[in-house]
């Protein structure tokens, strides 16, 4: 329930993560502590969607100045990547496997958030995660679905198969699974987070990657640092919205939102489609060359240009936390596709992401693969503010995150029913990542018919899911409005929201 007490509103897609956040707040922790503790637990109990072997992008708004900061801890391609061999093999990056792995940025990102804005000791924030990895946690409904849908991929990797498909049998919802190797890795990270990138643990991570066939090595790990930078921002209807800059696709949220000034479903579909085309034309890493941010923000792409896209659908977790003083964190962590690259190192218990699959192979494209370059990134945390209101917003949803969030953004400022808001039917636009051969608007039952009509006018296919669907996103929102805290967790996931 909303409250005026000095506390923190938190939302996350798994109950154990919210419990860890509440424990951090009870110990005197800040919203940043709550978010980090929750994210660490999710890396244990939601391994199909996030891992210490994945990436992290976040926004943080500390009290006082109210200045919003973007934390980009997205890992780069290895310095020894063989681009010529990749091009000789296919016109697209591998969708999974060792060549799709980039440097994991999650640990550095969590540590940076804790160091800058946390109040509790780093090791204390990992206690719940260590315990759940060591003693076991029940398989959630979402994890059980992911295991069944990815069974063929999981069975190709001995580490993952042993973890979630023992004897060729998928773990069932409620069944307890333990991860002793991951528990030991978490203990080492708790003792020395920098050791994940430069130390004995880094050597073990690099050895595990080499054994799995990845070119990511110790030097690549040592080169990684979380980047803290200024966000992109735009104003609409009296509210100001903040997102992470490239290589995040955050600009596309702003493009979708501001491109639909009347907020109608039809206008939002049109602006989302324009933003999608702009992303496929312009999104990449500024470290690899100039990025046309203005074109991304405007939803502008070359007329008639064809831009083949990656096949990976996104699996991601969002954690949102807001305090009564307006401190806010929106944190997103991910392995990209369900169970990432489909490979796990048995020695460390790390599941590695397949973020490299989002690179492009065509020379001259802003998202082209290259040594030390970060891939175009789907992670899209959002912070919004208006008079007396601060909102932390994020979701699972892969490439569709910008328009998933744009469908609820206005309501997170104005609605008195956040739970009803995040649970209402939604639509997304996509193609191969949704299992469709052509650009398609996929809608849940009850989604506005005007959205489907606008999609048809744009030449998109229109299809419907039979019910609420994971691909429509798992939205998490936390808010302070007039000193009152509130939060909501998407019913499509396994989480909850609390004011702790």
Asked if 184 and 190 count as a contact pair (C-beta separation under 8 A), the reply is no
Angle between helices 180-191 and 127-135 (to 10 degrees): 160
Radius of gyration of the chain (CA): 21
Query: What is the per-residue pLDDT across 130-141, written as a single tens digit (0 to 9) for each?
Result: 999 999 999 999
pLDDT of residue 350: 98
**Does a structural domain hold residue 290?**
yes
**Residues 415, 421: contact at Cβ < 8 Å?**
yes
Encode the chain in three state secondary structure. Answer: CCECCCCEEEEECEHHHHHHHHHHHHCCCCHHHHHHHHHHHHHHHCCCCCCCECEEEEEEECCCCCCCEEEEECCCCCCCCCHHHHHHHCCCCCCCCHHHCCCCCHHHHHHHHHHHHCCCCHHHHCHHHHHHHHHCEECCHHHHHHHHHCHHHHCCCHHHHHHHCHHHCCCCCCCEECCHHHHHHHHHHHHCHHHHCCCHHHHHHHHHHHHHCCCCCHHHHHCCCCEEECCEEEEECCEEEEECCCCECHHHHHHHHHCCCCCCHHHHHHHHHHHHHHHHHHCCCHHHCCCCHHHHHHCCCCCCCCCCCCCCCCEEEEEEEEECCCCEEEEEEEEECCCCCCCEECCCCEEECCHHHHCECCCCCCCECCCCCCCCECCCCEEEEECCEEEEEEEECHHHHHHHHHCCHHHHHHCCCHHHHHHCCCEEEECHHHCCCCCEEEECCCCCHHHHHHHHHCCCEEEECCCCCHHHCEEEEEEEECCEEEEEECCCCECEEEEC
d(CA 19, CA 8): 13
How far apart, in whole angstroms, are the C-alpha atoms of residue 388 and residue 322?
A: 13
Identify the band that residue 306 occupies on the pLDDT scale cut at 50, 70 and 90: very low
Residue 87: domain span = 1-136+178-424+477-500
Instruction: Name residue, tokens 């691909």.
Output: 471
Q: Of the candidates 345, 387, 398, 359, which has an alpha carbon nearest to the alpha carbon of residue 213?
A: 345
Confidence of residue 312 (pLDDT cuts 50, 70, 90): low
Residue at 458 is within a domain: no
- Whether 456 is covered by a domain: the verdict is no
pLDDT (mean) for 206-231: 98
Q: Rounded to an integer, what distance in angstroms lies between the CA atom of residue 450 and that of residue 333?
A: 33
pLDDT at 313: 53
Q: Report pLDDT digits (tens) over 328-387.
A: 999 999 999 999 999 999 999 999 999 999 999 999 999 999 999 999 999 999 999 999
Distance CA 132, CA 285 (A): 36
Strands 461-464 and 440-443: parallel
Tell me the pairing of strands 382-386 and 389-396.
antiparallel
Q: Which residues contact 287 (CB under 8 A, 6 or more apart)?
A: 76, 372, 373, 374
Tell me which residue of 326, 39, 341 sits closest to 208, measured CA to CA: 341
pLDDT score recorded for residue 3: 42
Residues 6+ apart with CB under 8 A from 464: 442, 443, 444, 445
C-beta atoms surrounding 156 within 10 Å: 12
55 bridge partner residues: 334
Instruction: Give the pLDDT confidence score for residue 231 in this predicted structure.
Output: 98
Residue 464 covered by a domain: no
Pick from 291, 218, 223: which is nearest to 251 by CA? 291
Backbone angles phi, psi at 306, to 5 degrees: -105, 130
> Does residue 176 carry a pLDDT above 50?
yes
Catalytic residues: 316
Burial of 325 per CB tally in 10 Å (0-12, 13-18, 19+): middle
**The pLDDT value given to residue 5:** 42
Question: Is 6 in contact with 102 (CB distance < 8 Å)?
Answer: no
167/179 Cα distance (integer angstroms): 17
Q: Are 269 and 441 in contact (CB under 8 A)?
A: yes
439 within a domain of the structure (yes/no): no
Average pLDDT over residues 188-216: 97
Q: How many domains does the chain have?
A: 1
What is this structure's pTM?
A: 0.96
Mean pLDDT, all residues of the chain: 94
**Exposed e or buried b per residue across 206-232, where buried means at least 16 C-beta atoms within 10 angstroms of its C-beta:** bebbeebebbbbbebbeebebbbeebb
Q: How confident is the model at residue 2 (pLDDT cuts 50, 70, 90)?
A: very low
Per residue in 472-481, pLDDT tens? Answer: 999 999 999 9
Residue 314 confidence class, pLDDT cut points 50, 70, 90: low
Q: In angstroms, what CA-CA distances link 315 with 158, 194, 242?
A: 21, 26, 22
Residue 152 in any domain: the answer is no
Instruction: State the CB neighbour count (10 A cutoff) for residue 459.
Output: 9
């Amino acid at each position: 329930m909303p409250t005026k007490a000095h506390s923190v509103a938190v939302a996350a897609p798994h109950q154990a993560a919210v419990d860890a956040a509440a424990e951090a707040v009870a110990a005197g922790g800040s919203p940043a502590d709550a978010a980090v503790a929750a994210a660490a637990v999710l890396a244990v109990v939601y391994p199909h969607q996030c891992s210490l072997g994945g990436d992290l992008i976040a926004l943080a708004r500390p009290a006082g100045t109210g200045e919003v900061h973007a934390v980009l801890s997205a890992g780069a391609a290895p310095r020894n990547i063989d681009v010529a061999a990749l091009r000789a093999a296919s016109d697209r990056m591998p969708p999974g496997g060792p060549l799709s792995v980039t440097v994991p940025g999650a640990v550095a990102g969590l540590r940076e958030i804790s160091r800058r804005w946390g109040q509790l000791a780093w090791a204390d924030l990992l206690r719940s995660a260590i315990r759940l990895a060591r003693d076991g946690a029940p398989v959630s409904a979402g994890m059980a679905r992911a295991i069944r849908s990815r069974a063929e991929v999981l069975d190709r990797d001995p580490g993952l198969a042993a973890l979630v498909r023992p004897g060729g049998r998928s773990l069932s919802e409620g069944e307890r699974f333990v991860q002793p190797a991951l528990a030991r890795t978490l203990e080492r990270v708790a003792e020395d987070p920098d050791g994940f990138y430069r130390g004995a643990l880094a050597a073990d991570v690099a050895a595990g990657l080499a054994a799995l066939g990845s070119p990511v090595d110790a030097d690549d790990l040592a080169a990684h640092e979380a980047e803290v930078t200024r966000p992109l921002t735009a104003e609409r209807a009296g509210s100001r919205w903040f997102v992470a800059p490239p290589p995040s696709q955050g600009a596309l949220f702003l493009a979708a939102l501001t491109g639909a000034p009347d907020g109608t479903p039809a206008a939002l579909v049109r602006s989302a489609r324009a933003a999608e085309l702009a992303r496929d034309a312009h999104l990449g890493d500024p470290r690899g060359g100039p990025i046309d941010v203005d074109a991304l923000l405007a939803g502008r792409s070359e007329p008639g240009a064809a831009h083949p896209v990656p096949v990976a659908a996104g699996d991601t977790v969002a954690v949102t936390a807001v305090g009564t003083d307006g401190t806010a964190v929106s944190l997103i962590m991910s392995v990209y596709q369900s169970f990432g690259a489909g490979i796990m190192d048995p020695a460390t218990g790390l599941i590695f992401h397949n973020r490299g699959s989002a690179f492009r192979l065509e020379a001259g494209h802003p998202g082209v693969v290259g040594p030390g370059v970060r891939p175009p990134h789907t992670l899209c945390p959002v912070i919004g503010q208006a008079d007396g209101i601060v909102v932390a917003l994020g979701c699972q949803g892969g490439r569709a995150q910008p328009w998933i969030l744009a469908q609820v953004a206005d309501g997170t400022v104005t609605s008195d029913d956040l739970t009803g808001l995040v649970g209402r039917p939604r639509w997304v636009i996509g193609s191969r990542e949704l299992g469709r051969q052509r650009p398609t608007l996929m809608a849940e039952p009850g989604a506005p018919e005007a959205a489907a009509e606008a999609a048809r006018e744009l030449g998109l296919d229109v299809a419907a899911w039979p019910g609420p669907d994971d691909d429509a996103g798992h939205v998490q929102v936390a808010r302070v409005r007039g000193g009152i805290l509130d939060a909501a967790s998407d019913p499509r996931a396994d989480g909850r929201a609390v004011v702790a």
